[in-house]
Structures are given as C-alpha cells and as structure tokens.
Chain A
C-alpha cells in the first residue's frame, strides 16, 4: 500500500513535487492544498486527477486521516503557522520553505537521523545542491577556514514565495553550510538571472585552505556527486574542483526533469527530489504506513 501524502502550497515547488510523488511507487498524493482557487497549481493538479482544496492546512485539520506525511511548500511565514498544527495532528512534516522550524536534512548526509524527527526542514535548493560538495571538501580538509557558495537560478523558476523569502533563503543556506561542515566561516550568495532562454541552475562552491590535496578533493567530490545523482538525476559537476586564484572552485549544474517547469529549473528538482527521498524512506520505515 502506498503512503498517503498531502502537499500544501501550489506554487512551482508544490507542482513539481506533485509530479514526483505521482511517479513514486511508494507515495500517493491524497490532497493538494492551496488557498487560491484560481491558482495555476490547482488547475494543474485537477488536470492530473488529484484531489484539490483551497482550504490549505484547514483541510488537513478537518480530514486528519487524509494523509500521514505532509509536504509544506508554502512560505516561511505560513509554515511557522502550520508547523504546530501538523505536530498536533501527528503528521510527519517535510518543510520545503526556509522556515527552519524543523531538523535540517540533506538526505545523503543525515537521512537516518531525519526520520526520527517530527518536522524536517530541507533548507533551500542552494543548500541541497551545495552541502554535499561542502561536506566532501570538509571530509578531506576539516581545517578549511572559509567556505562560500554562489547559486544562480533562472528568474522564471523563482516564484513569489522564494522572492518574498530571499532573506531567509540566504541566511538558512549560510547557516546550514556551517552546521553541516563545522567550518566556522561560511557565506551564501543567491543570484537570479532573467536571461532568455532561461539558464540552468548552477552553484559554485569555493573554499580557502592552506595546502589543498587536490587529488583527494576531486575523488571525494566525484564520489559524493555520484551518490547525490542517485536521487537527483540531473546533478552534475561542470567545473571539477580546480585550484585557481588561490581558491578551490567547483561548479555544479542541476538540470531538472522538466516535470512542471522546463529543465532549466533544476532548483525545483534539487529540493523536491530530496523531499521525495525522505518521504519514501519514512514510508518504508513505517511499513508503507
């Protein structure tokens, strides 16, 4: 039996997530919830034959048996409101907003621990894309003094929720890089590029280290990228770890599967694939729920 999931939030992330849930052998979307009856997302879900509501979290409160896992793809502010409700209803909450109420999770790093939690936060797309590489670097050189990431995404793939939360987005990415690697000084830069045709999502990871062992770094980063590729198929190293200008530079490009927006929107896939990975692991652990 498939585990029943609810999705709250009908923007770019909610819609991309819906398609990925539909493709999963272990998950089934029992409610797709927004608050605007005219939203493009609700229309999209209806076309796919998915039950929809514009009662948002209220629907889940009124129909507590509709699902066991709830993905929240609204906004940081809304998730802060939703989180205690989901907890009271004993739902496993997977939060795709930068609200950071729950436990930071990057599946390849700490999936097992995340499954013990009631509320898991997926940080940001920039965080999901760069933390694995940052950890691969820190594994070889735990003494790294400074680590920085710069994420560029196509303007079209950044919906109003992302834009209204750009500050939380930047801060959460920076803080999570620090939490996951133990590196004292980190920075995150987020850039939106409106070029047409839209550019693919790309993130560059920089690190400063005294005497880098480039061979070991390259091996560690390649291995990590391969593992991430298992759940994010479009994840690719396009600039391999290179020592230039006194810094280590690595660039990752993520092409999307094109489920809701075209393939340039890899920033959606990077976080929705991680969310599905966590939900599937949770479902498996709880015997299909």
Chain B
C-alpha cells in the first residue's frame, strides 16, 4: 500500500475546544516542534476557518493573520494549511490575504450536499498554484451516492483531494468503510477522512478508512478538537506501528507536543461525556457544545434536550443561531406544560 498522508488539524479543530483562544506562543511552539514530525500539512486557524471568527460561531482571540504568520515562521518542511467555509470567509477579505501570508494548502469545506459552493474558492486557490482540498462536512447526513457525486464536483473544480468529515462523530464503522470504498472507486484524486470521537470510535474509524483505501487521515494530537475530540493522532500512529505499517511519523514528537503544549492549554481535556454522546446520536455538529451550554444555563433547559431537538430540526454546521431559538422554545413548551398540568389538576 502507498504511504498514508497525515493532515494535522490540532491547531484548527482544537480551537473549538478552547473557544478559539489559541495563543501565538502555543502556535509557535507547536509548529516548531512538529515541523520535522512527518506531517504532510499542519492546518491552523479558527475552528471554522478563515473569516469565521464571529458571534455566530465564536470569536477568536487572535486574528487569522496573527495565527497564519506565526505558524509560517515556524514551518519550513511541512505545508501550512488554512481552512475555509464559503459563506464565512471571502476571497477578497480572507482567502487572498491568507495566500499572501504563505499558506501552501487550503481546505475548502461545505456541507456534504452543497459542494458547488466551493467552486469559486477551489478554482481561486488552484489559480494561485496552491494545493486545494475539498471538504464535505457532516457526511453522515447524505446517502453514499450523493456524497460521491458531490466529491466528483470538487474533483472537476480542480481539487487535489476530497476529505470526508464526520463532523458530528455519528459514524458507524460500516458507514466509513462503505463511504471510503465508494469514493475510492469513483475518484481519481486523494480521499481523506476526518473522524470525531463522540461514540468512542475515532481511532477505529480512521483505521477502517485506511483499510478501505483512504489516502489521507486528518486528525489531531491528543484528539484536541470540538465536542468529544478527534481521532487521537498519536494513538492512531501507535496502532499503525503495531501493525507494522510504515508511517514516517515521529511518534515521540507527537507525545511531546501533546504533553508539553496541548495538555496545558486544554483545561477540560478529552472526554466522551453525556453531552458529546447525545451530539453524536442526534448527529449535530460537535462544535455546538459551548453554544448549547450557554443557552442551557440562560434558559434553564437540559443540554441534552437541546441537542436532540437540534437533531430533529436537521441543523447543519454554521446554524448556531438555532441554539437560542430551540432553547427558548423548549423553555416555553415546559412553561405551557406546567400550565396544562395545573389546569388539569384543578379539574
């Protein structure tokens, strides 16, 4: 089998886990230590990418420019990646400046059924002679054939690969194997997989993707990421080593950055808690957790109920404004129920 590629999203997805508060020091130290670790790309930024620092998704402490320039200074061997969701960042305000700052690779992401919104941005990145990867988020929400067709569109736009994101950690291993196999059969470009750990399957699902021919695994050190976190890169590399698969990755470098750089900034640490399991069950974007927590406190509604109702309403990434709406409605519904109960107890 050809060598597996690794995209390190620690400094992008991890941003969700600490409300987008990465510091320059963390980025600098991390990139300096990881430059020789064998990653193909290190992706840096706000959890939702360029131009995504917002009240809707969460404000970032550092600007995109501060993050990218800091990372650039410390990456010589490894490609510097940025992430962009069309509808958040724009070419003029966000993408063009990022490329000027020295980004080598851009992941252009869309909800799994909406690939044609990535055309402009993939074509722009390719016109600047940089690598472009299409990303299909929340892939559990689409039929496999739909997903294949969406991925083919990205291939047509000129993408160098397509990465499938299990954004809600809602995958079963069977779905991973079916999806990756189908994509590999239809696409001429690289296929990648980005797992989440809501149901405790992130490392296992990364392995299933690999077994079915995935070319890229997109993961994070310590599993630092939204919700229950991502596929823990060092555990996955260790698994591959145990199986005698050559990875070219310096496992000890991953341990070091994990223990020395990520652990101190990640106060909560990784855990599969009740709320992340419900998020995975209901198939809701993992990064909604802080918004659900805030609304739960303000409107005094159970976090899990909010997640389940969001799942019923089939919300997609970027719809964090639904959280307040749902929480207010649940609070209102409870109040109505109380009144009903009082009235029926009088009868």
Contacts and interface: CB of A to CB of B under 8 A. Distances in A.
Contacts, number: 106
A251 B116 contact: no
B87 A170 contact: yes
Interface stretch (A186-194, A209-217, A262-270): A186-194
Prevailing SS type, chain A contact patch: strand
A148 B58 CA distance: 12
Contact of A191 (B119, B313, B319): B319
B114 A194 contact: yes
Prevailing SS type, chain B contact patch: mixed
Interface residues of A, number: 35
B328 to A, nearest CB: 7
Contact of A239 (B93, B298, B325): B325
A166 B120 CA distance: 8
B20 to A, nearest CB: 14
A90 B70 CA distance: 53
A206 B316 CA distance: 19
Given A148-B55, A155-B113, A189 B314 contact: no
A81 B278 CA distance: 51
A148 B91 contact: no
Contacts of B91: 167, 171
Interface string B111-130: 10110110111000000000
Given A167-B121, A171-B92, A189 B324 contact: no
A150 B56 CA distance: 7
A39 interface: no
Nearest to A195: B314
A195 B116 contact: no
A220 interface: no
Nearest to B320: A150
Contacts of A165: 120
A163 B87 contact: no
Interface of B: 51, 54-57, 86-93, 111, 113-114, 116-117, 119-121, 141, 294-295, 298, 313-322, 324-325, 328
Interface of A: 146, 148, 150, 152, 155, 160, 163-167, 170-171, 174, 187, 189-195, 199, 202, 204, 206, 208, 238-239, 242, 244-245, 247, 249, 251
Given A193-B315, A242-B328, 12 more contacts: A150-B54, A150-B56, A150-B319, A164-B116, A167-B90, A170-B87, A170-B90, A187-B54, A189-B318, A190-B87, A195-B313, A239-B325
